């Protein structure tokens, strides 16, 4: 009895010592192991987008049928996917699905027993202030959960924590409304000497899903096309207070870099590792080789480096991994230097924000190859050796496998054969070897460089891959698109105004790479779905698609892989062979992520349809000129013949008795 009493007392003492938010990480660690639920954007902390559910498998997937649908009431691009949580997490009576909408970012809590809306949160945002400075549609990439809270990052930079139970009246009954626990304006506290305060008036918005890790909520920043110097921020889950913020470029103290301890490819980055790579002219720095500026510029102050991807977490290493985007202004001529630390893979300490290691993939970006795409953590064999790996499919068309402990570069290979802006990546320096004829900087201002592959939207954009531990393969939703790119002279920076200074046109990669093995018969496909071996850096199989594959992928223990197309098809293919098993035409083009869960013993697969995003911006925003939508409108003009605007969650299952 005495022993039991002491243990019980210790448990109580620990509960008192640790705030409830500190236990959120342990709750999520436990919940992510239950395949009946989908509790975080990537399915688990390692961003696998894989489920152990196998009621639906490669033998019966062809029997799938629509189970139910839900309209968000918003007709714009719908990215991200729903969360499904148990009553032990939410305090509600039963299993609950939480789903979001594009701007104005409504949040719905849906009872999976009755399919009734338990509560809805309707944000109050200024359309005229916010939407005009959202570069690539009014998308939102979804929700996060932690400590009984549903986290939403609104477009207007407001980070909101909602009570998962919803608002209650004096009798404890649901009112149907969402209840705000706390909210904070992301970036509004930044002082003028650091470029702030930031918000839509300065061109800064948010589109990414928040991520809950330990006792913190992580959020990022969009606005490189408006000269915003972006960051990753950690807010305390308990009350929304700022824990730390790390900028993508600038002084070491802003970037949270230790000159001696932070490394790139195993070597300390040294003092002023960012500042010394923003030059006034090409002295000390050499194109395609690098070097330190002889004379530094202040261009880093409007340097971009957006952070709006999907971020994994390694508990053992206590590191969060993410990517930073393009440097400010798409005209590379006005910003000589490697422009660090844009276009970079980051490994940061979750508690302090200090960078452990960095790796810049595209020094001195000349093509808008944002490095924000997701990182996936896998313990795997790489070139025959066991590694704690990080796998990243970059917009620049190279798939990288790195050691996530040290940042060592292990594999860097093209995952679309059309890629031609660089011949290869030097494995010693980590630097891509740029083909001069595809350099927009070398061509110069007001010169149109043609036939660059991939286009600015990349061989893959933010749409996340899936990894199956059963096959050891990564499943990559891709673009097969090339472009013409003209840096435009002039165009001085004005806060809150577009700071792009480039004109683009996009077209099928088959027009440039006519012998590419992932072309369709007509050589006009804009999309491709790829199975990739990250240990060897090789394509296993590909499926050409008429339009870009802009959905997040799902892999399952049933050896089925799901993805969606811009025409609106959700497709199921065999994980080993890529054979088509089933498809269904949803109400609109799919740019959402496909998630799965089980309810009352039945497996469901759900996806948001609602055409939009960068590839679908022409339809979503009513644009017509080929060069509009940052060059995407011309390439995707055929979408209007196959789909229309929408905003519907479509849910599928096997027939009763199957």
**Catalytic residue selected from 314, 368, 559, 574:** 368
pLDDT band at 612 (very low <50, low <70, confident <90, very high): very high
Q: How many CB atoms are located within 10 Å of the residue 69 CB?
A: 15
Between CA 160 and CA 328, with CA 205 as vertex, the angle to 5 degrees is 145
- Per-residue pLDDT, 25: 83
Residue 488: CB atoms within 10 Å: 15
- Per the DSSP assignment, residues forming a β-bridge with 38 are 84
Residue 21, pLDDT score: 53
**Does 1 have pLDDT greater than 50?**
no
Residue 15 has pLDDT above 90, yes or no: no
Average pLDDT estimate for 529-547: 98
Residues 624/633, Cβ–Cβ less than 8 Å: yes
From CA 377, how far away is CA 352, in angstroms rounded?
21
Q: CA 607, CA 645: separation in Å to the nearest integer?
A: 15
Which whole number is the average pLDDT over 245-258?
98
* Whether the bond into 197 is cis, omega within 30 of 0: yes
Average pLDDT value over all residues in the chain: 95
Q: How many residues does the chain have?
A: 658
Contact partners, residue 657, CB within 8 Å, separation at least 6: none
CA dist 157 and 427 (Å) reads 39
- The answer on pLDDT for 539 being more than 90 is yes
DSSP 241: -
Contact between 648 and 588 under an 8 Å Cβ cutoff? The reply is yes
Q: Is 326 exposed, middle or buried (0-12, 13-18, 19+ CB in 10 A)?
A: buried
Q: Write out the DSSP string of 330-391.
A: S-GGGS-S--TTSSEEEEEETTT--EEEEEESSTT-SS-----S-EEEEEEEETTEEEEEEE
pLDDT in tens, 323-355: 999 999 999 999 999 999 999 999 999 999 999
Determine contact, residues 103/90, Cβ cutoff 8 Å: no
Q: Which two tokens stand for residue 219?
A: 């959020």
Measured distance CA(460)–CA(238) in Å, rounded: 36
Residues 6+ apart with CB under 8 A from 195: 228, 229, 301, 302
pLDDT tens digits, 471-525? 999 999 999 999 999 999 998 999 999 999 999 999 999 999 999 999 999 999 9
Q: 497 and 458 in contact (C-beta within 8 Å)?
A: no
CA distance linking residue 594 with residue 588, whole number of Å: 14
- pLDDT tens-digit map of 348-360: 999 999 999 999 9
Tell me the C-alpha distance between 268 and 261, whole Å: 6
Query: Is the per-residue pLDDT at 13 higher than 60?
Result: no
The domain locations on the chain are 19-653
The helix (H) or strand (E) run that includes residue 486 is strand 481-487
Determine the average pLDDT of the residues in 282-300: 96
Q: Is 391 exposed, middle or buried (0-12, 13-18, 19+ CB in 10 A)?
A: buried
What is the pLDDT confidence band of residue 22, given thresholds at 50, 70 and 90?
low
Task: Give the per-residue SS3 of 584-629.
Answer: EECCCCCCCECEEEEECCEEEEEEEECCCCCCCHHHHHCCCCCCCC
| Contact (CB, 8 A) for 410 and 387 | yes
Active site residue 272: no
Examine the pLDDT at 653 and tell me if it is beyond 60. yes
pLDDT for residue 381 is more than 80: yes
Cα–Cα distance for residue pair 203/496, rounded to 1 Å: 4
Question: For residue 77, which of 643, 609, 585, 639 has the smallest C-alpha distance?
Answer: 609
Categorize the per-residue pLDDT at 9 as very low, low, confident or very high, splitting at 50, 70 and 90.
Answer: very low
Q: What is the pLDDT of residue 144?
A: 98
pLDDT over threshold 50, residue 18: no
State whether residue 476 is helix, strand or coil: strand
Locate 183 and state its tokens: 């909210």
Task: Compute the distance between CA of residue 85 and CA of residue 426 in angstroms, rounded to an integer.
Answer: 45
Contact 215, 237 (CB under 8 A): yes
* pLDDT tens-digit series, residues 24-70: 689 999 999 999 999 999 999 999 999 999 999 999 999 999 999 99
Q: What is residue 120's three-state secondary structure?
A: strand
pLDDT, residue 491, reads 87
Please tell me the number of Cα atoms within 13 Å of 458 on its side-chain side: 29
- For the domain spanning 19-653, the CATH number is 2.140.10.10
Least confident of 6-20, 74-88, 304-318, 636-650: 6-20
pLDDT tens for each residue of 160-191: 999 999 999 999 999 999 999 999 999 999 99
Q: Tell me which residue of 178, 164, 22 sits closest to 87, measured CA to CA.
A: 164
Q: Are 274 and 250 in contact (CB under 8 A)?
A: yes
Is the pTM of the predicted complex or chain greater than 0.85? Answer: yes
């Amino acid at each position: 009895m005495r022993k039991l009493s002491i243990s019980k007392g210790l448990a109580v003492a620990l509960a008192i010592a640790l705030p409830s938010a500190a236990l959120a990480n342990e709750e999520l660690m436990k919940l992510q192991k239950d395949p009946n639920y989908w509790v975080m954007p990537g399915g688990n902390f390692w961003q696998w987008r894989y489920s152990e559910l196998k009621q639906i498998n490669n033998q019966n997937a062809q029997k799938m049928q629509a189970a139910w649908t839900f309209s968000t009431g918003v007709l714009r691009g719908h990215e991200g996917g729903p969360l499904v949580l148990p009553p032990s997490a939410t305090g509600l009576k039963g299993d609950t699905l939480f789903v979001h909408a594009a701007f104005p970012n409504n949040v719905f809590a849906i009872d999976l027993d009755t399919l009734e809306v338990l509560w809805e949160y309707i944000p109050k945002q200024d359309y005229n202030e916010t939407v005009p400075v959202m570069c690539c549609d009014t998308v939102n990439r979804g929700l996060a959960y932690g400590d009984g809270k549903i986290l939403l990052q609104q477009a207007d930079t407001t980070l909101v924590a909602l009570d998962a139970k919803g608002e209650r009246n004096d009798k404890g009954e649901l009112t149907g409304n969402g209840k705000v626990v706390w909210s904070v304006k992301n970036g509004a506290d930044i002082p003028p000497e650091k470029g702030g305060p930031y918000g839509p008036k300065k061109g800064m918005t948010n589109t990414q899903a928040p991520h809950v890790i330990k006792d913190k909520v992580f959020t990022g920043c969009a606005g490189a096309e408006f000269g915003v110097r972006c960051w990753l921020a950690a807010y305390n889950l308990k009350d929304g207070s700022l824990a730390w913020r790390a900028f993508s470029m600038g002084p070491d103290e802003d970037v949270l870099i230790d000159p001696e301890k932070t490394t790139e490819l195993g070597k300390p980055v040294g003092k002023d590792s960012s500042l010394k790579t923003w030059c006034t002219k090409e002295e000390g720095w050499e194109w395609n080789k690098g070097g330190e500026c002889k004379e530094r510029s202040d261009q880093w102050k409007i340097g971009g480096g957006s952070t709006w991807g999907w971020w994994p977490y390694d508990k053992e290493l206590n590191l969060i991994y993410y990517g930073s985007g393009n440097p400010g202004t798409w005209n590379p001529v006005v910003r000589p230097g490697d422009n660090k630390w844009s276009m970079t893979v980051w490994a940061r300490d979750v508690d302090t924000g200090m960078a452990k290691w960095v790796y810049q993939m595209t020094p001195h970006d000349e093509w808008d190859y944002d490095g924000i795409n997701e990182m996936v953590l896998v313990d795997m064999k790489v070139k025959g050796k066991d590694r704690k790996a990080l796998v990243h499919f970059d917009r620049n068309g190279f798939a990288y496998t790195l050691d996530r402990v040290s940042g060592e570069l292990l594999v860097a290979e093209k995952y679309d054969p059309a890629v031609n802006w660089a011949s290869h990546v030097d494995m010693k320096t980590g630097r891509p070897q740029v083909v001069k004829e595809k350099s927009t900087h070398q061509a110069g201002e007001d010169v149109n460089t043609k036939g660059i592959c991939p286009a600015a939207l990349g061989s893959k954009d933010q749409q996340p891959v899936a990894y199956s531990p059963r096959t050891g393969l990564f499943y990559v939703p891709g673009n097969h698109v090339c472009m013409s790119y003209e840096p435009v002279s002039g165009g001085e920076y004005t806060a809150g105004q577009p700071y792009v200074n480039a004109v683009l046109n996009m077209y099928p990669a088959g027009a440039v790479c006519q012998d590419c093995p992932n072309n369709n018969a007509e050589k006009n496909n804009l999309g491709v779905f790829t199975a990739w071996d990250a240990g060897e850096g090789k394509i296993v199989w590909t499926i050409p698609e008429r339009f870009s594959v802009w959905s997040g992928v799902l892999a399952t223990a049933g050896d089925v892989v799901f993805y969606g197309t811009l025409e609106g098809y959700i497709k199921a293919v065999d994980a080993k062979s890529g054979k088509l098993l089933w498809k269904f035409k949803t109400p609109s083009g799919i740019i959402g992520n496909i998630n799965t869960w089980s309810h009352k013993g039945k497996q469901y697969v759900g996806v948001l349809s609602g055409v939009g995003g960068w590839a679908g911006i022409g339809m979503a925003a009513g644009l017509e000129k080929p060069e509009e939508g940052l060059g995407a409108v011309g390439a995707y003009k055929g979408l209007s013949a196959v789909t229309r605007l929408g905003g519907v969650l479509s849910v599928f299952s096997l027939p009763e008795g199957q």
